[in-house]
Amino acid sequence: MTIEFMEAVKGSEKSFVHQGRQYTVKIPPGSDDGTRIRYSEFDVSINVKPHKTFRREGNDVFIYHEIPLTLAILGGETSVPTLEGELTIKIRPGTQPSTTVRLSGKGIKRLRGSGRGDLYIKFKVMLPEKLSHRGRQLVEELESVL
């Protein structure tokens, strides 16, 4: 049975027909590819579709998040997607292009046992594609003081 990424993360119910009978499968939160749900006559194997934003490794989740050059240099706040919705986090001044931040306990609920995985955010610093004449002057001025 193929399900959406968020259905696997949060748990869901799916109905299907097998040999003329209707069944409802309760998919537990934290299910992953290959999770098997047993019935007396058969097993249901779960296949999870990939998500466009989140990438799963075990119970941990990884995302790429774009930030503008000015935010990387000066610091500030940005809103990032999590499994529960948007979350505002602080960006330290001088954040490097491949900086990774870990948000403990913001990953996927463990299928068996308690606790959750972590959410890892890797920043992609976005550079301007075109600069105005004034913008170029400011960057050159910045270069001279660094």
At 57-89, the pLDDT tens digits run 999 999 999 999 999 999 999 999 999 999 999
Checking 15-18 for CB contacts under 8 A at 24+ apart, the result is 16/44, 18/42
Same domain, 15 and 36: yes
Beta-bridge partners for 61: 56, 119
Q: Taking a C-beta distance cutoff of 8 angstroms, is the pair 105, 115 a contact?
A: yes
Same domain, 66 and 102: yes
Instruction: Determine, yes or no, domain membership for 141.
Output: no
Instruction: Determine, yes or no, domain membership for 103.
Output: yes
- Average pLDDT, stretch 80-106? 95
Beta-bridge partners for 116: 109
For residue 37, pLDDT beyond 90: no
Same domain, 33 and 93: no
Same domain, 71 and 19: no
Same domain, 37 and 85: no
- Average pLDDT, stretch 104-133? 93
Instruction: Determine, yes or no, domain membership for 119.
Output: yes
Distance CA 109, CA 23 (A): 25
The total of structural domains in the chain comes to: 2
One-letter amino acid for residue 83 of the chain: L
Domain span at 73: 55-129
With CA atoms as reference, report the closest residue to 72 among 125, 121, 122, 120.
Answer: 125
What is the domain-level CATH number for residue 109? Answer: 2.60.260.20
- The structure's pTM equals 0.86
pLDDT digits (tens, 9 = 90+) for 119-144: 999 999 999 889 999 988 998 998 88
